[in-house]
Amino acid sequence: QQSLSSAFQSLGDVFSALSAAVGAADKVIELMRRRPAVEESGTLVPTTFAGKVTLQDVSFYYPARPTLRVLSGMSLVVNPGEIVALVGPSGGGKSSIVKLVERFYLPDEGRVLIDDRPVAEYDRKWLKQRVALVSQEPVLYARSIRRNILYGLEEEDGLPAAELPTQEDVEQAAGLANAHDFICALPEGYETECGEKGVQLSGGQKQRIAIARALVRRPAILLLDEATSALDADSEAVVQEALDRTMKSRTVLVIAHRLSTVQDAHRIIVVQHGQVAEQGSHDQLLEAGGVYASLVRRQLARGPSTNRLLPSASSA
Ligand code: ATP
């Protein structure tokens, strides 16, 4: 009895020593992988901007999980004006690519370039205006709808007066985003307060405000995480129409869930295990009979109502 419990005791000691060692190893790995702080702004403010996106042999680990290599030798080029759809199984690394392009994180190895210059070299504020993100669950702040659309583009953000969007610009962006009419129907129109104490907006309305926020920047590069199931059918149609309009005439990297988006994209990149598994057009990839073809087959087997192609294809 005695020796058994002391055996367990020492086993426990071994485990705690082991887990401490593993924790320390994680820290060492993280320190070894030190990269420039993502908050640091570069100084580059180019006079022309085409909107090309390049990932060159990129490897990436989330700082909080230094042992999980999320992207591994990932390379891709999106040319100015090209619409590229990212598809693939859940957890494959699609969102992580988008986060690197918007410079939310910096890569551990390899380079992320915009117009052939490393993202970190650009002036942060300048880049934020040219690279806009519409995510699935947009965040609205406790301020007016107008200021939510303008977020980051106001006088107090240090922008010169000539670069501040006018009310007309805001309304035009909201119009393109299918948001102008519902905003005007609110008690205080564009001055209506959002956030917890403000007006309660539906998921589709929030999405459309987020699209207006992206559009008012007239971004050269649009990063888009298509909504999956958050919206009802009516609201989805209105949001999609706005998104389709938004994608025209700019570089677009879209995490695509809808078959129509995927089919209309100039190119489809299948991301799996942090790497490009295959790329090509819808027809080319179907013909190739690889990962994409099996994702589509699996999706079609789930039933005929397949507006969505890859609603996170989580079974991979
Ligand atoms: P989905 O289609 O489900 O959105 P995805 O292809 O976009 O998936 P990512 O979100 O890029 O995949 O995730 C890639 C890997 O990174 C996953 O293993 C995920 O668990 C991990 N991951 C994502 N975000 C973080 C984070 N903030 N910290 C640590 N690990 C993360």
Question: Is a pLDDT exceeding 90 seen at residue 13?
Answer: no
**DSSP string across 52-73:** -EEEEEEEEE-TT-TT-EEEEE
SS3 314: coil
C-alpha to C-alpha distance for 245 and 178, rounded to whole angstroms:
10
- Tell me how far apart the alpha carbons of residues 117 and 284 are, in angstroms, rounded to a whole number: 32
The mean-pLDDT minimum among 94-98, 159-163, 234-238, 288-292 falls in: 234-238
Report the chain's C-alpha Rg in angstroms.
23
The closest alpha carbon to 97, from 65, 40, 33, 54, belongs to 54
Say if ligand 1 is within 6 A of residue 138 CB.
no
Pairing mode of beta strands 267-272, 275-280: antiparallel
pLDDT tens-digit readout, 109-145:
999 999 999 999 999 888 888 999 988 888 899 999 9
| Residue predicted with more confidence, 247 or 14 | 247
DSSP state, 290? S
In one letter, which amino acid is 113?
L
Q: Ligand 1 pocket test: which of 90, 136, 255, 295 has the largest number of ligand atoms within 8 Å of its C-beta? A: 90
Helix, strand or coil, per DSSP, at residue 113: strand
How confident is the model at residue 22, as a pLDDT? 65
Per the model's pLDDT, the better-predicted residue between 251 and 244 turns out to be 251
Distance of CA 229 to the CA centre of its chain: 17
pLDDT at 314: 42
| DSSP element (H, E) containing 83 | strand 83-87
Q: Whose CA is nearest to atom 2 of ligand 1?
A: 90
How confident is residue 303, by pLDDT bands cut at 50, 70 and 90?
Answer: low
Give me the pLDDT at residue 100, please: 95
Question: pTM (2 decimals)?
Answer: 0.82
Q: Find out whether 130 and 220 touch, Cβ atoms under 8 Å.
A: yes
Q: How many CB atoms sit inside 10 A of residue 3's CB?
A: 7
Specify the pLDDT at position 34.
47
- ipTM confidence: 0.97
Q: Give the pLDDT confidence score for residue 36 in this predicted structure.
A: 52
Distance of CA 60 to the CA centre of its chain: 15
95 within ligand 1 shell (Cβ under 6 A): yes
Query: CA–CA separation, 245 vs 224, rounded Å?
Result: 13
Q: Which helix (H) or strand (E) holds 13?
A: helix 2-32
Choose one of 69, 95, 98 to mutate for the ligand 1 pocket test, by most ligand atoms within 8 angstroms of C-beta.
95
Report which secondary-structure segment, H or E, holds 252: strand 251-255
Mean pLDDT of the chain: 84
- pLDDT, one tens digit per residue, over 20-69 is 666 666 655 554 554 555 667 888 999 899 999 999 999 999 998 999 99
β-strand pairing of 131-134 with 221-225: parallel
Ligand 1: does its nearest atom lie under 6 Å from the Cβ of 67? Answer: no
Residue 311 CB–ligand 1 contact under 6 Å: no
Least confident of 178-182, 215-219, 240-244: 240-244
Cα of 94 from ligand 1 centre, angstroms: 8
pLDDT score of 291 more than 80: yes
What pLDDT does residue 312 have? 45
Residues 6+ apart with CB under 8 A from 160: none
